Amino acid sequence: MFGKRLSLREHGLSNLELDTVRRVRKALIDAHLPDSVQDLNISTRNTAEAAKALGVELGAIAKTVVYTIGNRFVMVMVAGDHECREDQLSKIFNLEGDVVRPAADLVRAVTGFAPGAVSLLGSVSKLPTAIDASLKRFDKIYVAAGHGDCVYATSVDDLKAVSNATVSYAVATPVVPA
């Protein structure tokens, strides 16, 4: 009935022109960090695809995930080769209640980003944040920049400085290969 929906690329546009990506770029500039946002120009549905596209180790890709603890939203940034230790989040954030991953529409409402594109910088809400300390293995990490195919390069120290995030090894544990 309506025909095929064309992607931005098929219209000759870049993901860098999306409002969500522009918001991340502005947040980087406002934080006096380099605007290193790049459109990978390929579909990156997961951290492994992003790492391959960038030519970096899987662990250098930071996954940003939103949770609720009780009735509070929090943000957690985890290395691509680690998984979040959800059982530790209440303690890390000093909050009581069940730890739950909210539905995509709630993530979008609270951050302004779709799951898979959530960025600490440029979020419409300032959420308490915890960062996986294992990311410090890398001088440069890559974080989603408002669209699933866009990332920016930064460091744990820079993110901590601009966000007052907690950096902890208790946030995540290495993924054991199957």
Q: 7 pLDDT exceeds 70?
A: no
pLDDT for position 6? 42
169 Rama sector, left if φ>0, alpha if ψ -120 to 50, beta otherwise = alpha
Q: 11 pLDDT exceeds 60?
A: no
Helix, strand, coil shares of the chain, percent, nearest 5, are 35, 25, 40
4 belongs to a structural domain: no
Is the separation of the CB atoms in 73 and 67 below 8 Å? yes
Residue 47 CA to residue 26 CA, distance in Å, equals 24
Residue 26 CA to residue 65 CA, distance in Å, equals 21
1 belongs to a structural domain: no
Q: Give every CB contact of residue 162 below 8 A, 6+ residues apart in sequence.
A: 31, 33, 121
Q: 150 pLDDT exceeds 60?
A: yes
β-sheet bridge partners, residue 151: 38, 144
Q: Report the domain count for the chain.
A: 1
Grade residue 9 by pLDDT with cuts at 50, 70 and 90. Answer: low
The predicted model scores a pTM of 0.90
157 belongs to a structural domain: yes
pLDDT for position 30? 96
2 belongs to a structural domain: no
54 belongs to a structural domain: yes
- Which residue range forms the structural domain that includes residue 32? 9-174
Residue 102 CA to residue 79 CA, distance in Å, equals 20
22 belongs to a structural domain: yes
Grade residue 20 by pLDDT with cuts at 50, 70 and 90. Answer: very high
User: Which domain CATH number covers 160?
Assistant: 3.90.960.10
Is the separation of the CB atoms in 65 and 129 below 8 Å? no
Torsion of CA 129, 133, 134, 137, to 10 degrees: 120
